[in-house]
């Protein structure tokens, strides 16, 4: 009996490891002649795979909207309902933005006598269950927020040591997503504070997305994959060019840890909040998509402008973020003053590559990329599709590519190898 069970265990482990490896194999196109070691280093996924939580969620990065970046604590149930309506009427919901997430400040500052969290009676008089019912009736999902500490950052009740009861309450309301913050954490290590909520959510029997918000302090990419579906890698974003670019660079470091089931989270989008110009927001959105970041809209969707909608609803850029291969793209080359002329790239399913030419200089610049920098053999011919012009700009580009890019702007492409110029098929 014992012998059989060991054999079954070994076979299951082998099948599991093979499936994990299959899921992480890099798409080395048959035409590519670049040495494996080079490609593997360029698009390293070696830290992904063995530790991922598997609640069936986050096969691709989560998409939706959150209250925090625009509304902060000025929220109420009307805002949430109107935003759910606006996600539908703008077409954003049908592009995949389905989580409607209430961030901090939904709860009253004290629990009730039974120790339960209470929705703030002034701002959420109908309660969270009624809101969940409302967003569900629109085909959307509802998220709430709490904290792996004794208070949230805005000093509402936190869930540390109350994980089970809180998770059960949210599940009874029909909540689909939890963002779990890091304030007032009593100095206890996050590796001790975040798993109890994972277990509590699992025990509810409801499928609830678990988004860790530990701010990257203890390098969560290294341990959060077995706990949650995404983990913040940085401090809070704000609506400035310097904040957005700094955060992109920090998130970039953790690329090899991301993959289906668990994603690096460089924080919510600021697109549309007014602190950056059109080119800067276009770059913000393109780089977030290339990095397989969660795409959580952070502006007032009820009053969205045409430019903002154009950025957030670019289907081709969204498709890069949501590509089933799930490999985080990264910065592969930088030149110019302080390395401000940058090339970011990442492999996609069906042997394609996504590439962003990102001009972080304060003047327009011509950025040139050689195939070797993005892992292609020099003789490979590719067709190039421009994801902002929505057209194929070349059927046959070989060896390198150059484009003029606006100051603080970007261009984004998908490269599809067309044919080998050598007999390597």
Residue 112: strand pairing partners: none
Q: How far is the CB of 213 from ligand GLA (least distance, A)?
A: 5
Q: Residue 236, interface with ligand GLA (CB under 6 A)? A: yes
User: Is-contact 276 240, C-beta < 8 A?
Assistant: yes
Backbone angles phi, psi at 412, to 5 degrees: -135, 135
Name the nearest CA neighbour of 57 among 294, 319, 269. Answer: 294
- Selected range binding ligand GLA among 80-88, 148-156, 203-211, 356-364, rule: CB under 6 A: 148-156
> Catalytic one among 104, 176, 181, 265?
181
Q: Residue 280, interface with ligand GLA (CB under 6 A)? A: no
Q: How far, in Å, CA of 156 to CA of 152, rounded?
A: 5
Q: What count of other Cβ atoms lies within 10 Å of the Cβ of residue 376? A: 26
Residue 344: strand pairing partners: 331, 356
Q: How far is the CB of 47 from ligand GLA (least distance, A)?
A: 24
Nearer to ligand GLA, 181 or 270 (CB): 181
Token pair 């080998």: residue: 420
Interaction mask 192-231, ligand GLA, x per CB under 6 A: ---------------------x-x----------------
Interaction mask 105-144, ligand GLA, x per CB under 6 A: ----------------------------------------
Backbone angles phi, psi at 42, to 5 degrees: -60, -45
- Selected range binding ligand GLA among 88-96, 151-159, 239-247, 313-321, rule: CB under 6 A: 151-159
Q: Is 236 a catalytic residue?
A: yes
Nearer to ligand GLA, 104 or 280 (CB): 104
Nearer to ligand GLA, 153 or 332 (CB): 153
User: Is-contact 262 292, C-beta < 8 A?
Assistant: no
Q: Count the site residues for ligand GLA by CB under 6 A.
A: 10
Q: How far, in Å, CA of 110 to CA of 25, rounded?
A: 49
> Catalytic one among 85, 120, 133, 236?
236
Indicate which single residue of 77, 103, 214, 377 sits in contact with ligand GLA (rule: CB under 6 A): 103
Subset of 309-338 contacting ligand GLA (CB under 6 A):
none
**Residues 35-42: contacts with CB under 8 Å, at least 24 apart:** 38/375, 39/375, 42/332, 42/374, 42/375
Nearer to ligand GLA, 45 or 146 (CB): 146
Q: How far, in Å, CA of 318 to CA of 348, rounded?
A: 13
The CA-based dihedral angle spanning residues 6, 11, 17, 18, taken in that order and rounded to the nearest 10 degrees: 170
Q: Residue 102, interface with ligand GLA (CB under 6 A)? A: no
Structure tokens at 150: 């004794």
Structure tokens at 388: 């902002």
Subset of 42-61 contacting ligand GLA (CB under 6 A):
none
Q: How far is the CB of 215 from ligand GLA (least distance, A)?
A: 6
Nearer to ligand GLA, 291 or 345 (CB): 291
Q: How far, in Å, CA of 289 to CA of 265, rounded?
A: 11
Indicate which single residue of 43, 48, 68, 124 sits in contact with ligand GLA (rule: CB under 6 A): 68
Q: How far, in Å, CA of 65 to CA of 351, rounded?
A: 31
Token pair 């989270």: residue: 265
Q: Residue 104, interface with ligand GLA (CB under 6 A)? A: yes
Nearer to ligand GLA, 215 or 254 (CB): 215
User: Is-contact 45 26, C-beta < 8 A?
Assistant: yes
CB neighbour class for 402 (10 Å; exposed up to 12, middle 13-18, buried from 19): exposed
Q: How far is the CB of 145 from ligand GLA (least distance, A)?
A: 6
Q: How far is the CB of 182 from ligand GLA (least distance, A)?
A: 7
Nearer to ligand GLA, 216 or 375 (CB): 216
Nearer to ligand GLA, 39 or 178 (CB): 178
Q: How far, in Å, CA of 387 to CA of 416, rounded?
A: 13
Helix (H, G, I), strand (E, B) or coil at 96: coil
Active centre residues (catalytic): 181, 236
Contact residues: ligand GLA, CB under 6 A: 68, 103-104, 152-154, 181, 213, 215, 236
């Amino acid at each position: 009996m014992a012998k059989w069970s060991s054999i079954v265990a070994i076979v299951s482990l082998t099948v599991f490891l093979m499936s994990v490896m299959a899921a992480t194999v890099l798409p080395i196109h048959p035409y590519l002649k670049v040495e494996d070691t080079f490609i593997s280093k360029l698009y390293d996924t070696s830290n992904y795979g063995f530790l991922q939580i598997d609640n069936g969620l986050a096969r691709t990065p989560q998409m939706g909207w959150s209250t925090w970046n625009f509304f902060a604590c000025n929220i109420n149930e009307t805002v949430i309902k109107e935003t759910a309506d606006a996600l539908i009427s703008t077409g954003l919901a049908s592009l995949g933005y389905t989580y409607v997430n209430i961030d901090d400040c939904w709860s009253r500052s004290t629990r009730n006598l039974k120790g339960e969290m209470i929705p703030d009676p002034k701002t959420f008089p109908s309660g969270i269950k009624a809101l969940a019912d409302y967003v569900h009736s629109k085909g959307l999902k509802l998220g709430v927020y709490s904290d792996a500490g004794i208070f949230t950052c805005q000093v509402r009740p936190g869930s540390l040591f109350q994980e089970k009861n809180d998770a059960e309450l949210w599940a009874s309301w029909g909540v689909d997503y939890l963002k779990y913050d890091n304030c007032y954490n009593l100095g206890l290590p996050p590796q001790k504070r975040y798993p109890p909520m994972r277990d509590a959510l699992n025990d509810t029997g409801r499928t609830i997305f678990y988004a860790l918000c530990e701010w990257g302090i203890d390098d969560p990419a290294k341990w959060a994959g077995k706990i949650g579906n995404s983990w913040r890698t940085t401090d809070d974003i704000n609506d400035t060019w310097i904040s957005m670019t700094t955060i992109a660079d920090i998130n970039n470091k953790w690329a090899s840890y991301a993959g289906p089931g668990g994603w690096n989270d460089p924080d919510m989008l600021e697109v549309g909040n007014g602190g950056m110009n059109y080119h800067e927001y276009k770059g913000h959105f393109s780089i977030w998509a290339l990095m397989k970041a969660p795409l959580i809209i952070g502006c007032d969707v009820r009053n969205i402008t045409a430019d903002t909608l154009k950025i957030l609803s670019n289907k081709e850029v969204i498709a890069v973020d949501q590509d089933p291969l799930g490999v985080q793209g990264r910065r592969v080359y930088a030149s110019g003053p302080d390395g401000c002329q940058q090339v970011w790239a990442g492999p996609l399913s069906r042997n394609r590559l996504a590439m962003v030419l990102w001009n972080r200089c304060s003047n327009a610049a011509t950025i040139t990329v050689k195939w070797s920098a993005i892992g292609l053999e020099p003789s490979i011919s590719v067709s190039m599709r421009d994801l902002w012009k929505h057209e194929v700009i070349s059927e046959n580009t070989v060896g390198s590519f150059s484009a003029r890019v606006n100051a603080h702007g970007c261009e984004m492409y998908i490269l599809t190898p067309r044919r080998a110029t050598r007999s390597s098929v």
